[in-house]
Amino acid sequence: MKIAIIKKVFILVISLVVLTGCVGVVKAPPALDAKAKEFKPDPATSQVYVYRNETLGGAIAMDITVDGKLAGETGPNSYFKFNLPAGEHTITSQGDQSVLKLVTQLGKLYFVWQEVKMGFFSANSELKLVSEADGKLGVMESVLIDSSVGK
């Protein structure tokens, strides 16, 4: 009996997610997206890409902060590019649900994958530093999000 109720609730939740559609993010102009995907190191900054290249949890926007400043929200197949000074930086997702501390160097590229993890009633995420090769592939599948952080 309880399993049947749980199944019905699960189907209802999934149906609501599908009906609400995908979350809208503030996309950057296509020219900026193309330039960011050139992956050219800048000797004056460290460049950090935070990407979400999956559609799981597509109807759910997920906050990203960099050093305590709200960068914006990711949606499915989207990414941020931050030009940051060298040093230690803290990137968070979903408040303090996932925290990644990263020490960067000038002229280097860094790639952080925001992996979406579905819970029973809500989506969670985990930030993971990934290789440059994996990161570039993930960014290429995604669209740049506009943010005032790290410009």
What pLDDT digit, counting tens, does each position of 39-64 carry?
999 999 999 999 999 866 666 788 89
How confident is the model at residue 58, as a pLDDT? Answer: 62
How confident is the model at residue 89, as a pLDDT? Answer: 97
How confident is the model at residue 10, as a pLDDT? Answer: 45
How confident is the model at residue 7, as a pLDDT? Answer: 52
Asked if residue 143 has pLDDT above 80, the reply is: yes
- Residue 54 burial by CB count (10 A; 0-12/13-18/19+): exposed, middle or buried? middle
Of 18-22, 107-111, 141-145, least confident by mean pLDDT is: 18-22
Average of pLDDT values for 5-17?
45
Q: What is the pLDDT of residues 71-129, one digit of tens each?
A: 999 989 999 999 999 999 999 997 777 999 999 999 999 999 998 877 666 667 899 99
**Which DSSP string do the residues of 79-101 spell out, in sequence order?**
EEEEEE-SEEEEEEETTTTEEEE
Q: How confident is the model at residue 19 (pLDDT cuts 50, 70, 90)?
A: very low
**Which DSSP string do the residues of the chain spell out, in sequence order?**
-HHHHHHHHHHHHHHHHHHH-PPP--BPPHHHHHHHTT----TTSEEEEEEE---TTTT--EEEEETTEEEEEE-TTEEEEEEE-SEEEEEEETTTTEEEEEEE-TT-EEEEEEEEEE-SSSEEEEEEEE-HHHHHHHHHTSEEBP-STT-
Q: Does domain 22-144 have CATH number 2.60.40?
A: yes
| Centroid of chain to Cα 29 | 18
How confident is the model at residue 18, as a pLDDT? Answer: 38
Query: Taking all residues of the chain, what is their mean pLDDT, rounded to a whole number?
Result: 83
Domain boundaries, the chain: 22-144
How confident is the model at residue 82, as a pLDDT? Answer: 96
